[in-house]
Chain A
């Protein structure tokens, strides 16, 4: 079988970024088309390899075909949209009602979100709506990892400079254990999200820049556990607006088809909302600082694309050089 033929189907499958069943059906259908066309060309006197090469060439580039299929299949149903925006609305409500400093309530909310996410993800085929839920599920371990790291650094620095820890040694030891554990949770989940599509990983990470800047600022303003609520509540309206905007962004993201539009939407909205978020903080940030925040947030949101590209390279190398030395000739043995 022509290498171009198998390469073509591999390349197409990697670029579809759809649900596994949809990808399977599309590849099978196009494989059938290419086989039919090659058989016709062979009947006209061409060698099989040459016939397959021509069939592949006339189908169009894998990028173009995958892009067309993605635009058709990626828009979610209205049910997906409605469910996907719920966690953003819940966060917006927490800020609008000035309830975010009631940590017990926030914890209950996050546990509820995590349970819904877990129920949807445990079957191995998560729904389109569940990616935004996954984002808030990962927020707790990701932010606690960041705060633990800051606390550890502070404790370590104090230990080195003064010879004693600023807090209990048991807490120090617990934090040393918690940092890699929480990082492992976040990376394991992020890897699972990226297996499907780096752009869905970006959608998952959409609230992170805002949650991170809010929590870091809170920490910097006197710690999370002190009497801080009064001052930060002046930013609640802006925060509520930001999470409402994230809900609208998620809805538009799920409804539009073309991939470049989805990427453009995430980049644009993130840049605008980071600027609004920075401007709403009760400190004066310079233009350069806000610009750096925007760049860092956009780079963070698009970073799954780089990670996925590396995963794909590794996958492609495995496909070209499989363990048994056998070149993959058929994609799916269990056709529908």
Chain B
């Protein structure tokens, strides 16, 4: 439950980071998040699409329809130049945040098993 809250707070950053590697459609993003986090994070599917559309309205990503062989139309999203800039800003903020958190949560600099 806690990891879902953490993911919820960073949904847009996660989406931008994923889409920086390649254009993806919604279901592909869900699977990619599960795969990259080894099942630790799972997108609540109903909240994914409002987040994607919010990013698109903000001009951070652009969507385009693409036909598939089995006649399903998928909407692929790709990051825009503005989105890359936003991602860079968020990554820098994330690094500062994680350094600060680590210095509090892990003062000796090592992750110990509890």
Give A contacts to B, CB under 8 Å: 25-26, 28-30, 32-33, 35-37, 39, 58-61, 64-65, 68-69, 71-73, 335-336
Contact check, B46 vs A71: say whether CB atoms are below 8 A apart: no
Partner of B49, one of A26, A37, A39: A26
Excluding A59-B45, A60-B44, A335-B65, 5 further A-B contacts by CB distance (< 8 Å) are: A32-B72, A39-B70, A60-B47, A68-B49, A72-B50
A272 to B26 Cα, complex, angstroms? 45
Query: For A71, what are the chain B residues with a Cβ–Cβ distance below 8 Å?
Result: 50
Contact check, A32 vs B75: say whether CB atoms are below 8 A apart: yes
User: In the complex the two chains form, is B26's CB within 8 Å of A29's CB?
Assistant: yes
Q: Is the CB of B75 within 8 A of A65?
A: no
A33 B46 Cβ-Cβ under 8 A? no
Alpha-carbon gap, A336 to B57, bound state (A): 19
Chain A neighbourhood of B47, CB < 8 A: 60, 68
Question: Residue B53 at the A interface, CB < 8 A?
Answer: yes
- Contact partner, A33, options B27, B53, B57, B65, Cβ 8 Å: B27
A-B pair count, CB < 8 Å, reads 59
Asked if B74 is an interface residue, CB under 8 A from chain A, the answer is yes
Taking a contact as CB atoms under 8 Å apart, the answer to whether A72 and B54 are in contact is: yes
B2 on the A face (CB < 8 A)? no
Q: Which residues of B contact A65 (CB under 8 A)?
A: 46, 49-50
Bound CA span A50–B59, Å = 38
Residues of B within 8 A of A (CB): 25-27, 44-47, 49-50, 53-54, 57, 65, 70, 72-75
Checking A60, A73, A336 against B46 with a beta-carbon cut-off of 8 angstroms, the contacting residue is A60
Contact A68 B26, CB 8 Å, known A29-B75, A335-B65, A335-B73: no
In angstroms, Cα B71 to Cα A28, docked, is 12
- List of B residues within 8 angstroms of A64 by Cβ: 46
Q: B42's closest neighbor in chain A, by CB?
A: A58
Indicate which residue in A36, A68, A69, A336 contacts B72 across the interface (CB closer than 8 Å). Answer: A36
- Minimum C-beta distance from A179 to chain B (A): 46
Q: What CA separation (Å) do A324 and B75 show in the bound complex? A: 32
CB distance from A58 to the nearest CB of B (A): 6
CB pair A28 B46 closer than 8 Å: no
- Distance (Å) between the CB of B35 and the closest chain A CB? 13
> In the complex, what distance in Å separates the CA atom of A72 from the CA atom of B73?
22
- Whether A32 lies near B53 (C-beta < 8 A) is no
Q: How far is the CB of A304 from chain B (nearest CB, A)?
A: 25
**Nearest-CB distance from B56 to chain A (Å)?**
9
Identity of the chain B residue whose Cβ is nearest the Cβ of A55 in the assembled complex:
B45
- Supposing A60-B46, A335-B65 touch, asked if A33 and B73 sit within 8 A by C-beta, the answer is no
Min CB distance B58 to A, Å, is: 10
A32 CA to B27 CA, complexed, in Å: 9
> Are A68 and B65 closer than 8 Å at their CB atoms?
no
Query: Given the complex, which residues of B lie within 8 Å of A68, measured CB to CB?
Result: 46-47, 49-50
CB contacts (< 8 Å) of A72 on chain B: these are: 50, 53-54, 57
Measured between beta carbons, the chain B residues less than 8 angstroms from A35 are 72
* Chain A residue nearest to B74 in the complex (CB): A32
Give, as a whole number of angstroms, the nearest-CB distance from B99 to chain A: 33
User: Could you list 17 examples of A-B contacts with CB < 8 Å?
Assistant: A25-B75, A28-B75, A29-B75, A32-B26, A32-B72, A32-B74, A32-B75, A36-B27, A36-B72, A37-B45, A60-B44, A60-B47, A61-B46, A68-B46, A69-B50, A72-B57, A336-B73
A-chain residues with CB within 8 Å of residue B25 when the two chains form the complex: 32-33
- Report the bound CA distance from A72 to B46 in whole Å: 13
Are B65 and A336 interface neighbours, CB within 8 A? yes
In the complex formed, the residue of A with least CB distance to B64 is A336
Query: Could you tell me if B53 and A73 are in contact, using CB atoms closer than 8 angstroms?
Result: yes
Query: Cβ of A58: which chain B residues have Cβ within 8 Å of it?
Result: 45
Closest chain B residue to A36, Cβ basis: B27
Chain B contacts for A28, CB-based, 8 A:
73, 75
Task: Output the least CB separation between A271 and chain B (Å).
Answer: 31
Please name all residues of chain B whose beta carbon is closer than 8 Å to the beta carbon of A60 when the two chains form the complex.
Answer: 44-47
Contacts of B57 in A (CB 8 A): 72-73
A65 to B53, CA, bound (A): 12
A33 / chain B contacts, CB cutoff of 8 Å: 25-27, 45, 49
CA distance A58 to B26 in the complex (A): 14
